[in-house]
Amino acid sequence: MKKLILASVLLGATATVTAGDTITTDSAAINQGIKEGTEVRMDGEVVQALGDERYLLRDRKGQFEVELDDDLTADRPLKAGTQLSFTGEVDHDDGRSVVDVKKVHSVKGTSTNSPSAT
């Protein structure tokens, strides 16, 4: 019986550890080189569209680059000042860290259409 309880506790602990794989972070941590493939949740404001579905964003600690497929924002171009909340994966591209956005949680501000949450 003790072995069954111990096994249950250990399995529960493992599930707890693996369930928290997404970390909430900021530009300072991204720019310092978070491990490639790390799933992150971030908030930022669009500073500039860089072309080819890439944007420069800023938060309270600095600036960072994201790659954001247009279909994740319902094909709405994002303008400077648009606030985003998203989950993505860190990618090291040509010596710099880029967040490859996988899911947009909210878009607020100056996109070309009315603001919405997804």
Angstrom CA distances, 42 to 1, 3, 7, 59, 64, stand at 44, 41, 36, 9, 11
The structure tokens 């944007």 sit at 55
Residues 6+ apart with CB under 8 A from 68: 53, 54, 55, 78, 84, 86, 101, 104
> pTM surpassing 0.85?
no
Kind plus residue range of the DSSP H or E element containing 7: helix 2-19
| Selected residue with higher pLDDT from 39 and 7 | 39
pLDDT score at 16: 26
Domains in the chain: ranges and CATH = 22-117 (2.40.50.200)
Q: List, for residues 33-89, the tens digit of each pLDDT value.
A: 899 999 999 999 999 999 999 999 999 999 999 999 989 988 887 999 999 999 999
pLDDT score at 18: 36
pLDDT score at 6: 43
Alpha helices (runs of H) in 20-80, residue ranges in sequence order = 27-31
Of 54, 56, 58, 55, which is closest to residue 27 (Cα–Cα)? 58
Cβ(25)–Cβ(86) below 8 Å:
no
Confidence of residue 110 (pLDDT cuts 50, 70, 90): low
